[in-house]
Amino acid sequence: MSGFQTSGFQTSVDIARKQPYVVAPLAGQKRPPSRHVDSGNTKYQAPQTIDDDDANKSDPTNTKRLGFIRPQVALPKSRLIASEIRFAAGADKSTRSRTDPLLPDAAQGTLPTLNDPKFGLPSSLAANFAAAGVCNIYQWQASCLLGQGLLEGKRHLIYTAPTGGGKSLVADILMLKRIIENPSCKAILVLPYVALVQEKLKWLRRIVQDVEKHQDQEINHNDDGSRSDHRWRRVQRTIRVSGFFGGSKTTASWADTDIAVCTIEKANSLINTAIEECTIGELGAVVLDELHMLDDEHRGYLLELMVTKLLLLQQDIQMIGMSATISNTELLAEWTNARYFISTYRPVPVDEHLVFENAIYPAATSRQLFQTISKLASTPGLSFGDAVPPQRTIQTSTFRELSNPMTNAMVALSIDTVTAGFGVLVFCGSRQACQIQAALISEAMPDPSTLSVDDMNKRLDLLADLRSLPSGLDPALETTLIKGVGFHHAGMTTEEREAIAQAYDHGVLKVLVATCSLAAGVNLPARRVIINGARMGRELVGPAMLRQMCGRAGRKGKDEAGETYLICGKPDLQAVCDLLEADMPAIESCLAPEKRGLKRALLEAIATGLVSGQEAIQEYVKCTLLYRTVDKKLTYSIMNSALEELAGEKLIVKTDDESFVATQLGQAVVSSAFAPEDGLFVHEELKRALQAFVMDGEMHIFYMFTPLQVAATTQIDWSIFRDQLDQLDDSGLRALQFVGVQPGFVNTMVQSGAVIKENTPEQVTLARIYRRAYTAFQLRDLSNEVPLPVIANRYRIPRGGVQTLAQQCHGFAAGIVKFCQRMGWGMLAAVLDHMRDRLEAGARADLLEMAQVTYVKGWTARLLRDNGFRNLRALAEANPKDVVPVLMMVNPRKRNQLPPSEIERYTKKLLAKAEVIVASANKIWEREMQLDLDE
């Protein structure tokens, strides 16, 4: 084959491929002993390996060098050749299939600037937006913002716009304007995923830098002329942005922040607390991003609860909801009494294609794609090519690995994009498929010898950064990253995913293979998006997820065009046909009887004092989306049934005046953010623990801290369970037997190979106990400084799964502690709170103080303590240079000897980290000293 060539029909990638560009060749050989690099030669030379004897001869001090910057890697040649993509005979060469934007830039006219007085933004804020690349706004954004009452904060807003169409800017402007003009106001921005919260946190902090809120100069005084301290307070001029999400270590509270960027669960909890403490009047704006999550069966009811409570309060709170994937915008606007706005404008045009049996068909719209597939299905005996002539064809491959047409198309399209100099996102159906397909694409990538020294060094730096993580470098990644291909899925650690996503975003990696979770959780655009199959896992993707994935193609400021390719196999033709025919799903209430959300909604409203009497409760129910989408009589019937259940479970009681109040148990369930069913289960277990808590060991506490939602999906390996039971001391065994674990039952499960039954309520409870006990072993290991990769290997689970367990456990453990405090079980709460600190630090008790320091996790804290830094004060007073050798010991690696220049770079990097560690220790030490003085 002649290589990766496309003729005839020209896509944006084809056009780019014809542009002349020069890349430096790669020698692919070890550096000569002189270690000299000719400054006039740009080719890459691999680092020289120096054995111990050579090192001793060249180093008069006879000291071995520590660490390295980049791992030494062999630069593999391409083993596969991607198939050619050719123009099909008879296809129209003159035009491209393009999804033109509804309002092309030319039709937009002169775009308004953010400095325009009609928007009323401070010049400092407009300057920050300009520095971030946002000077002008689209006409649809201006029209939306200038809707009556919106900029003044007097009306709510629900709006939709395509992914990449600029939705977030509208909400940001409305929210920031509200905060700036009303200095005492706070805002809550709600996002569904932790990764999105972290990304938005960085963005907002950048945008509000040096922006000050308006100041009210009026100061109230007492009759005698003195200042009235209880009526006057100094308002913070700067805008404080804080993040609230599970596993975060933020010390910020509601009082310390102006904008709280939250996950759904944290936002609901903040609002509950504000209502209960009567500080809800401070809330001025709530932004609900990804509003389609209202329909999510696991978390949607929490969003509906938030909106319902805010509607009932009738406070001066502006609600702003947005999404790219809702169809019943008008209904949601009616529910919230909001203005609504629908935009179909997409600033970057996107071409859509169907790939079937090594042929590419244009699909300017989803409807056209549907008609293409339907025509084939409705004509028996007609081949796909006869029914609809393809625009381009992909040659069949002679390589066994590429014999499957879907795989062949995926590899060919990926390589075609890379050779044109663009990035490509490939979505596939499972974690395992991510790794397999990334490996295949990497085998066909252009030879690394085509890379410049700088590009190769960036990839080697990425490998070194990943290798230096506590979890180490995944061997599967090591083989693909050097070729410019990465993968991204939930089984990886957060640090791995962040490093790989950043490398792709910066062009270090050209191909990223991911599960669909990336489409919703991270903002990574691409010139081409390839969807390899319409199934994610076993299930067909929904219309909303399909749009999310396609929406990654072509983003303003990143690219001038985008292309999507849906690769379809024969078994899924009809399924894809139905999927693409379907409209975007209408959002429905998650408070329906089968989802039991109304029960929690009523308990929260009663426990926070929002409602009590029957009429008030009915008014509350009228504010739900359920009331607008279900028969009114049925809604009240559900309400009465839920109230009866809550009373029967002693979560609420009816008073003499026919109103309802929450019991102490009900208050505890709400304050701990548990669902009623989970709260009752926890209550029973804690009551038993009070009678005979096993205090001479740790297993009982780790069992109590195991999140119920994690245990629900845990798969038990019974042989591992038995091994861990056998290693327990008497205290640990007593603790697990006390909660209901029987070693004999575990032995039976090992010998029979059976699956634990869950057919009756008793069996469901028993299965939950065993799953929590099995997961508790992992939490025990995390708190006892066992390295994360060791835990992952021990229990045969992904490293990312262990990390997710730790993050979810933090929030659940905090809920357990709050539950005990509300129930008046102070001593138990104190014991649990101490262990919660250990779990968060990932360290034993003697390291808790030091583990508060930035960058200092359990293992790092242990090494610092064992190498002279015995406590926080010693670390605070340390010279950062003295900390560097300890940081070199954190991640033991193969001691490759490097040239002095590279060792110097590596040491500088560690020195910068050491300076942050010492500064953080200083800050914490000073705070503790101040607390001692105050006391």
Neighbours of 398 (CB within 10 A): 10
Name residue 426's beta-bridge partners: 513, 530
Q: Identify residue 340 by its one-letter amino acid code.
A: Y
Backbone angles phi, psi at 509, to 5 degrees: -105, 140
Of the candidates 857, 858, 883, 884, the one whose C-alpha atom is nearest the C-alpha of residue 868 is: 883
What was the pLDDT predicted at 23? 37
Q: Half-sphere exposure (CA, 13 Å, Cβ side) for 822?
A: 21
- Cα separation, 496 vs 474, in Å, equals 9
Cα gap 340→327, rounded to integer Å: 12
pLDDT at 437: 94
The structure tokens 């001593």 sit at 827
User: How open is the CA angle 25-31-34, to the nearest 5 degrees?
Assistant: 130
Q: Angle between the 573-581 and 366-377 helix axes, to the nearest 10 degrees? A: 140
User: The dihedral of CA 738, 742, 746, 749: what is its sign?
Assistant: negative
Structure tokens at 920: 């953080």
For the chain, give every domain's residue range: 105-216+235-342, 350-581, 593-662, 676-842, 863-934
Task: Provide the CATH number for the domain formed by 676-842 in this structure.
Answer: 1.10.3380.20
Q: Is 350-581 the same fold as 105-216+235-342?
A: yes
Residue pair 200/175 in contact (Cβ under 8 Å)? The answer is no
Q: Encode pLDDT of 767-776 as tens digits.
A: 999 999 999 9
- pLDDT attached to residue 552: 83
Please give the angle made by the CA atoms of 804, 705 and 607, to the nearest 5 degrees.
105
Tell me if 488 sits within 8 A of 500, measured CB to CB. yes
What is the residue whose two structure tokens read 């960058």?
Answer: 855
Tokens found for residue 641:
């049934």
The strand pair at 241-244 and 259-262 is best described as: parallel
Report the share of the chain in percent with pLDDT over 90.
Answer: 31
Nearest to 733 by CA among 743, 720, 723, 748: 743
Is residue 301 within 8 A of residue 591, CB to CB? The reply is yes
The single residue listed with the structure tokens 């609002």 is: 271
Amino acid at 354: L
Residues 405, 572 contacting (CB under 8 angstroms) = no
Round to whole Å and give the CA distance between 819 and 665.
Answer: 8
CB contact at 8 A, 564 and 350: yes
Nearest to 784 by CA among 852, 842, 736: 842
- In the chain, % helix, strand, coil (3-state, to 5) comes to 50, 10, 40
Residue 744 in contact with residue 722, Cβ under 8 Å? no
Contacts of 430 (CB under 8 A, 6+ apart): 515, 536, 537
Alpha-carbon distance of 728 to 722, in angstroms, equals: 10
Q: What is the CATH number of domain 350-581?
A: 3.40.50.300
Decide if 286 contacts 319 (C-beta within 8 A): yes
Residue 449: per-residue pLDDT: 72
Q: Which residue, among 98, 629, 551, has the nearest Cα to 335 in the 3D structure?
A: 629
- The helix (run of H) or strand (run of E) holding residue 488 is strand 485-488
Q: How many residues does the chain have?
A: 935
What phi and psi values does residue 170 have, to the nearest 5 degrees?
Answer: -60, -50
Residues 6+ apart with CB under 8 A from 377: 573, 574, 577
Which one, of 845, 852, 839, 842, lies nearest residue 921 by Cα?
Answer: 852
In angstroms, rounded to a whole number, what is the distance separating the alpha carbons of residues 259 and 241? 5
Backbone torsions φ then ψ of 793, nearest 5 degrees: -70, -40
The H or E element containing residue 536 is strand 535-536
Q: Measured between alpha carbons, how far apart are the two ends of the chain, in Å?
A: 80
Region for residue 655 given its phi and psi (left: phi exceeds 0; alpha: psi -120 to 50; beta: otherwise): beta
> CA–CA separation, 511 vs 486, rounded Å?
6
SS3 159: strand
Residue with tokens 């030494």: 72
The CATH fold of domain 593-662: Arc Repressor Mutant, subunit A (1.10.10)
**Cβ 628 vs Cβ 622: under 8 Å:** no
Tell me the two tokens of residue 700: 């009982």
Residue 825's closest CA among 705, 683, 708, 706? 683
CA distances from 107 to 139, 164, 165, 426, 532 (A): 10, 18, 15, 33, 35
* Triad 545, 548, 554: Cα angle to 5°: 150
Tokens of 856: 């200092």
Let me know: does 390 contact 362? Beta carbons within 8 Å: no
| Whether 157 contacts 338, CB under 8 Å | yes
Residues contacting 520, CB < 8 A, separation 6+:
192, 193, 290, 545, 548
In the numeric block, which tokens belong to residue 460?
A: 């080697």
**CA separation (Å) from 60 to 50, 57, 294, 362, 901?**
15, 7, 68, 68, 18
Rounded Cα distance, 786 and 900, in Å: 34
Give the chain's residues under pLDDT 70: 1-78, 89-110, 215-236, 247-252, 363-388, 518-522, 557, 577, 580-581, 593-596, 695, 840-843, 845-846, 848, 858-859, 890-903, 905, 931-935
For the record, the structure tokens of 884 come out as 């560097």
Residue type, 674: F
Helix (H, G, I), strand (E, B), or coil: what is residue 103?
coil
Q: Are 827 and 693 in contact (CB under 8 A)?
A: no
Q: How many alpha carbons lie under 13 Å from residue 488 in its C-beta half-sphere?
A: 29
CA proximity to 856, closest of 798, 813, 919:
919
- The CATH class, in words, for 105-216+235-342 is alpha beta
User: CA 451, CA 26: separation in Å to the nearest integer?
Assistant: 6
As a whole number of angstroms, the distance between CA 395 and CA 409 comes to 9
